[in-house]
Amino acid sequence: MNLEQNYRLVRQAWIDGVNEFHPDPKESYILPWEKMASWEQEAVKLLYDEMRIILLPGLKQGIRVPRVHGGYLVCSIWNVLMFQLLHNPKPSYVKHFHELDEWQQQTDIKMYEAIELALLQELSHEAGTS
What are the pLDDT digits (tens) for 7-34? 999 999 999 999 999 999 999 999 999 9
Q: What is the pLDDT of residues 117-128, one digit of tens each?
A: 999 999 999 887
Structural domains in the chain (count)? 1
Is residue 72, in this structure, part of any structural domain at all? yes
Contacts of 83 (CB under 8 A, 6+ apart): 89, 94
Q: Is residue 24 part of a domain?
A: no
Would residue 33 count as lying in a domain?
A: no
In a domain, 25, yes or no: no
Q: Which amino acid belongs to residue 99? A: E
**In this model, does residue 130 exceed pLDDT 80?**
no
Domain span at residue 78 reads 3-18+39-129
3-state helix, strand, coil in the chain (%, to 5): 80, 0, 20
Q: Which amino acid is at 33?
A: W
The closest alpha carbon to 1, from 130, 114, 126, 112, belongs to 126
Whether residue 27 lies inside any domain: the answer is no
Alpha-carbon span 18 to 126, nearest angstrom: 32
Q: pLDDT tens digit string along 69-119?
A: 999 999 999 999 999 999 999 999 999 999 999 999 999 999 999 999 999
